[in-house]
Structure 1
């Protein structure tokens, strides 16, 4: 089976933007684009004629979105699929065999933020491949791909994805490492006068190691590193204020924990104003026996 880029659509403005982002991504990668819409589980007493109407409407939506993709990205020929399951289930199931999932996301209400009600959040938290959440397309003057670094395997995966994306779109890569001094419950005299400088130097080493090898792998890629003493999510959102894309890592988890992202990824996904790519390390994730 040829690798694919999957995009979920539902006829909203954000899913229109997600479609355009996905079409461009599939074209750049030389992959098939599959456009999916989900109608939800049919009720037991569902009238056959009503069900036919729902399926016909879904098919019409997909055909219109396929034409939109062709117009925006000449040369691409999308595949279309109607799924009777809920949108989250339909997309997460396809993530086992896809290269990338793309989904739109509307601006969340305060209540939705509390309960993680966004479809994009649900898919990003449970998917088995990288997910791009598109609240809207970045403006024409947006520049750069931003990614967070903390030295973990997850952030290294995020940096690898961000570097590939920045190189293929001819954008600069901005790697942000935010650090904070540990909470201190003892007298400040306990620490050496140069403690903060030593800590900053150590954090700088982590940042340097995180980008090691990128110059050799992508000779034409401009990589800019940013070491800042700040809360990580705040630092990423500030750096991504005028970016084309921000990339975050997310540990592959099992069971109930897979329904949640880490705190930094959670905050960035819910508040970023540009598309957000959530990395996934497939080696962390094994099929679950239900």
Structure 2
């Protein structure tokens, strides 16, 4: 369980939503939990030659200290602190990530093209962090309960499922493991799959989610859990699961060094269509000793 939570704080409504979510989650944690508000004064965005003056630095420090004091009243049994850092926002926040820390950032409703949104702070952090990253939308739609984890049979998605199981147990809500699949593309338009072939493909995908379910149940035997496959688009299956989830958890597999700031397709599209908090668990998160002695059935749907 991630006992340390770091929240990116800049005083905006979006960071307020992220902080509120983190505070609500922290109420389920024991008194050893720590909540850290981090305010980054980004010198990179300044006019060349300009630096952060002592008055600006002191004002920013006082603002984050005041907010930490307010949160401390809401969480009197927890350790709540505020820190201010000067530097590039992405790199500064990434230094706070590790397998035992949950980094929480806010984001706003997309009102500009996908390409620009793809490079938002949350998506870049999720792609390059050394620990789990929660991305919280400013507005969460609908009444929600339970946690959905997208799985594809990979070790990374298993780690995401185990993270989701811990969160579900923490909150006392059910966990839903979901594996979405689509029939393989065909190279001739005249050819279509018959029902027998589709049934065989469906059985193979059913095995993916059942393999994950076995491991998660072994770790959390008392947790209310369902496991299902959905024939269709992965992102729609996760976001439109019924009942609507209060949290979606997915894994993200690392790519080449040049593309380490780019999320996998499903994780990326989740963030593009965010209306519920999403936690992205990178394959860099390797603190959990998992059982991988099982049939490897990996399908490129999630991550």
Q: Same fold (TM over 0.5)?
A: yes
- Which residue does 2:258 correspond to in 1? 256
Does structure 2 retain, via aligned residues, the 8 Å contact 1:146–1:240? Answer: no
1:79 Cα deviation after fit: 1.7
> Unpaired runs of 5+ in structure 2?
287-303
What does the per-residue CA deviation read over 1:84-132, in whole Å, with 9 as the maximum and x for residues that have no partner? Answer: 1122111012214752111111112333544523211121111111000
Match of 1:107 among 106, 109, 112: 109
- Which residue does 2:239 correspond to in 1? 237
What does the per-residue CA deviation read over 1:4-39, in whole Å, with 9 as the maximum and x for residues that have no partner? Answer: 321110111221121232234455163322210011
Say yes or no: does 1:151 pair with 2:153.
yes
- Which residue does 2:22 correspond to in 1? 22
- Which residue does 1:8 correspond to in 2? 8
Match of 2:144 among 135, 142, 152: 142
Distance 1:124 1:35 in 2: 18
Closer, same or farther: CA 126–61 of 1 in aligned 2, 3 Å? same
Does structure 1 retain, via aligned residues, the 8 Å contact 2:147–2:174? Answer: yes
1:65 Cα deviation after fit: 1.9
Distance 2:18 2:189 in 1: 52
- Which residue does 1:57 correspond to in 2? 59
Distance 2:266 2:257 in 1: 20
The runs of at least 4 consecutive aligned structure 1 residues that moved more than 6 Å come to 187-190
What TM-score comes out, normalization by structure 2 length? 0.83
- Which residue does 2:294 correspond to in 1? none
- Which residue does 2:218 correspond to in 1? 216
Q: What SS is found at the alignment partner of 1:194?
A: helix
Q: Which moved more, 1:206-215 or 1:107-116?
A: 107-116
1:140 Cα deviation after fit: 9.0
Closer, same or farther: CA 265–171 of 1 in aligned 2, 3 Å? same
Q: What SS is found at the alignment partner of 1:211?
A: helix
How many residue pairs were aligned? 282
1:177 Cα deviation after fit: 0.8
Say yes or no: does 1:72 pair with 2:74.
yes
Normalized per residue, which structure has more helix? 1
Q: What SS is found at the alignment partner of 2:144?
A: coil
Distance 1:246 1:55 in 2: 36
Closer, same or farther: CA 109–139 of 1 in aligned 2, 3 Å? closer
Distance 1:156 1:270 in 2: 23
Distance 1:240 1:34 in 2: 34
Q: CA RMSD in A?
A: 2.7
Distance 1:64 1:241 in 2: 38
Distance 2:104 2:149 in 1: 18
Does structure 2 retain, via aligned residues, the 8 Å contact 1:172–1:223? Answer: yes
1:271 Cα deviation after fit: 1.1
1:254 Cα deviation after fit: 4.6
Distance 1:98 1:141 in 2: 30
Distance 2:194 2:273 in 1: 38
Closer, same or farther: CA 87–241 of 1 in aligned 2, 3 Å? farther
1:3 Cα deviation after fit: 6.6
1:265 Cα deviation after fit: 0.3
Q: What SS is found at the alignment partner of 2:50?
A: coil
1:56 Cα deviation after fit: 2.0
